[in-house]
Chain A
Amino acid sequence: MERYPATKGGGRGATATAPGRARPAPQEAESAADLPPLLLLHRPRALRRARSMALPRLLRAAAPRLYSTVPAPAPAPAPAGNRPRADDDKLLTEPLSHPDFFSVKELFTLKDLFDARVHLGHKKGCRHRFMEPYIFGCRLDQDIIDLDQTMQHLQLALNFTAHVAYRGGIILFVSRRRQFCHLVESTARACGEYAHTRYWQGGLLTNAHIQFGPGVRLPDLLIFLNTLNNVFEPHVAIRDAAKMNIPTVGVVDTNCNPCLITYPIPGNDDSPAAVELYCKLFRMTIIRAKDKRRQSEAVEELQRKAQGK
């Protein structure tokens, strides 16, 4: 079954790059039982204005993470639908105990990033305010991205990607640059994952069950090679992924907003050398993770057979 149907006409819609292996069938049927909205708060305007001035900001400043400091209530009893499988648990929890299970740090060095011109940002006037922490300095009005921070962020992002691929997650590459559209699609095809480098229809993630039918499995990770769309605005998929609780990994340039991206990678997204480097790194990471999964499963099988005998 195709998760993302082929383009319907004129290049619109998601491109389907079906992987070689079979995907598991959806495990539960979809029957929507819409609940009435739980909380609907409406305050009169005067009160809202008076309150909105001082109090919320003060409280927010005084206790920014109030909700997270409240001790967690006892977890609800595990629903019967969860089927804990002992062997899967070990397979899944063991990689998390290693700081770098997939040796992602070996894949790149600072010199590689420098040679691929990852440190080159846009001009000073294009700078986004939230990118200021990631910028090393400004050389003749051109922003230079701090490659030490980029190394850290890239390592975290690749590690996360590897773990998601290891657990059999669906990864969707997104980029709206025509220059790199083919490269991104071929990278996705090489990994056995998916790509979407065309016009993003409004409800692809948020209205998926209508557009693609019930029982669609949404991607577990979105990788943005370019977070802006054709008109230099943040790509809609960033907001939609945040809405659907899907983690994102994205290359953010100096004119991008890194707020909603789970694992941002501050770096150049305009030079072909840089984008080729990113594609190569993601491809190697995902293939490595999948190979490791297959290896671990094979080892488990052998052990089980040995025990069984």
Chain B
Amino acid sequence: MHGSDPARASAGAAWAPPPGALGTRPRTLAGAPVPVQFPFHFRFRFRVRAAPGRARGPCGGAAMAATAGSRTQKIGSIFSRARNLVRIGLLRKPLWLDVYAAFPPLREPVYRVPRPRYGSGDPIGAVLYREDAVRAKFYKVYGNGPKPFDLTQLNFKSTCQRFVEKYNELKEEGKIEEEKLFEETGKALLASGILLQRRGVDKGAAPRDAASQPQLQAVLGELQDKRKDGQEQPPELAGTQKESPCPS
């Protein structure tokens, strides 16, 4: 950048800005000069690289087109800056300028200060469907469902989805009342082979508890008796343990 380039021989020559480079101060339509906007301290820095004396190949003698750059990414877009520099004559036309002019993006890429949004309003609405009510009830009653989601398949249908479809079918038929639709759908699915277990509630858990408690009580009673009796416990316990088959 500063002095590391060996070919700065012509730097001492008098330099005059090309006509129109400085430009007049932009004016409003009424003719009054536009006051400089915030921030007031920005500066344009045009680094003009000219190669007058360095003869290389066929284009040695002719005056080369200067290459400049404006590193102000917060002012305008790359297109506006490049187009203006080319129009002034400070920049050789870049490859992409014509393509951008022919196919501009949907939004000009101008810098915007990222400010957070204040207030409770959310401009993006929720995405909800009518079936979501059925899905919510399904998950509340049956939990996650018997079949895990297999996301590797693109057209995978989960138990919940089948339930919702069956529910809609029965609703369209119209023979069943609305309050009973849910249960009827469960029964219909059972008929087609999908077993739905209610989430963590009485029917499944209670009989197991009722069955295990007398077993536990019996074992405890035996232990207490055997302690009272004395040393006859271990062989009997071992016998009882061997006899009872593991229910797994």
A163 CB-CB contact with B under 8 Å: yes
Q: How many residues of A contact B (CB 8 A)?
A: 87
Q: Is the CB of A33 within 8 A of B8?
A: yes
Report how far A239 CA is from B72 CA in the complex, Å: 10
Chain B residues with CB under 8 A of A46: none
Once A32-B1, A262-B109 are accepted as A-B contacts, the answer to whether A132 and B73 lie under 8 Å apart by CB is no
In the complex the two chains form, what is the Cα distance from A170 to B92 in whole Å? Answer: 17
Residues of B within 8 A of A52 (CB): 38
Q: Which of A33, A43, A124, A247 contacts B96 (CB 8 A)?
A: A247
Task: Confirm or deny: B87 has a beta carbon within 8 angstroms of a beta carbon on chain A.
Answer: yes
Which of A3-11, A55-63, A178-186 forms contacts with chain B? A55-63
Residues of B within 8 A of A135 (CB): 124
A223 at the interface (CB under 8 A from B): no
Residues on A with beta carbons closer than 8 Å to the beta carbon of B219: none
Instruction: Assess the A38–B102 pair: CB atoms within 8 A.
Output: no
Residues of A near B43 (CB, < 8 A) are 37-41
Q: Are B63 and A79 in contact (CB under 8 A)?
A: yes
* Of A64-72, A277-285, A298-306, the one touching chain B: A64-72
Q: Which of A38, A52, A93 has the most B CB atoms < 10 Å from its CB?
A: A38
Contact of A139 among B73, B103, B127 (CB under 8 A): B127
Question: How far does the Cβ of A288 sit from chain B's closest Cβ, in whole Å?
Answer: 16
Instruction: Flag if A39 contacts B7 (CB, 8 Å).
Output: no
Q: CB-CB < 8 A to A118: which residues of B?
A: none
With A33-B10, A37-B45, A261-B109 as contacts: A96 and B99 at CB distance below 8 Å: yes
Instruction: Decide if A76 touches B19 in the complex (CB within 8 Å).
Output: yes
- Quick check: is B70 within 8 A (CB to CB) of the other chain? yes
B18: A residues at CB distance < 8 A: 76
Interface centre among A63, A239, A260 (most CB of B within 10 A): A260
C-alpha gap A242/B69 in the complex (Å): 11
Minimal beta-carbon separation of B236 from chain A (angstroms): 59
A27 to B44 alpha-carbon distance, docked (Å): 26
- Do B42 and A72 have beta carbons less than 8 Å apart? no
B187 within 8 A of A: no
The reply on A82 being an interface residue by CB < 8 A is yes
Are B80 and A31 in touch, CB under 8 angstroms? no
B80, closest chain A residue (CB): A68
CB-nearest residue of chain B to A63: B28
The reply on A30 being an interface residue by CB < 8 A is: yes
B76 at the interface (CB under 8 A from A): yes
Check A81–B96 contact: CB distance below 8 A.
no
- Please report the C-alpha to C-alpha distance between residue A206 and residue B1 in the assembled complex, in whole angstroms: 11
Which B residue sits closest to A57, measured CB to CB?
B38
Contact A262 B105 (CB under 8 A): yes
Chain A residues contacting B15 (CB-CB under 8 Å) are: 33, 35
Q: How far is the CA of A32 from the CA of B4 in the complex (A)?
A: 9
With contact pairs A33-B10, A242-B73 given, residues A51 and B45 touching in the complex (Cβ less than 8 Å): no
Choose one: B44, B51, B100; the contact of A39 (CB below 8 Å): B44
The answer to whether A42 touches B41 (Cβ under 8 A) is yes
Stretch of B110-118, B141-149, B198-206, B210-218 at the chain-chain interface: B110-118
> Are A30 and B89 touching (Cβ within 8 A)?
no
Residue among A31, A220, A221 making CB contact with B54, cutoff 8 Å: A31
Known A33-B15, A169-B95; contact A38-B45, beta-carbon cutoff 8 A: yes
Our pick among B34, B38, B63, B79 for the contact of A66 (Cβ within 8 Å) is B34
Contact with A along B85-98 (1 / 0, CB 8 A): 00111001111101
Q: With the chains together, A247 CA to B127 CA distance in Å?
A: 35
Neighbour of B40 across the interface among A41, A63, A77, CB < 8 A: A41
Q: Report yes or no: B44 in contact with A38, Cβ–Cβ below 8 A.
A: yes
Any chain A CB within 8 A of the CB of B162? no
Quick check: is A129 within 8 A (CB to CB) of the other chain? yes
Residues of A within 8 Å of B51, CB to CB, are 28-31
**What would be 6 A-B contacts, judged by CB atoms less than 8 Å apart?**
A32-B8, A67-B26, A72-B87, A80-B62, A81-B92, A138-B124
The residues of B with any CB-CB pair to A shorter than 8 Å are: 1-2, 4-11, 15, 17-22, 26, 28, 34-38, 40-51, 54, 56, 59, 62-67, 69-73, 76-82, 87-89, 92-96, 98-100, 102-103, 105-106, 109-112, 114-117, 122-128, 154
Q: A residues near B, CB below 8 A?
A: 27-35, 37-43, 48, 51-52, 55-56, 59-60, 63, 66-68, 70, 72-73, 75-77, 79-82, 92-93, 96, 115, 124, 127-130, 132, 135-139, 143-144, 152-153, 156, 159-160, 163-164, 167-169, 206-207, 209-210, 214, 220-221, 239, 241-248, 257, 259-264
Which 5 pairs, one residue from A and one from B, show the smallest C-beta to C-beta distance?
A76-B89, A81-B65, A31-B7, A242-B73, A137-B127
Known: A138-B124, A164-B95. 16 other contacts (CB 8 A): A28-B64, A31-B8, A31-B51, A33-B10, A38-B17, A38-B43, A38-B46, A51-B35, A51-B38, A59-B34, A81-B59, A82-B93, A135-B124, A242-B111, A257-B114, A262-B79
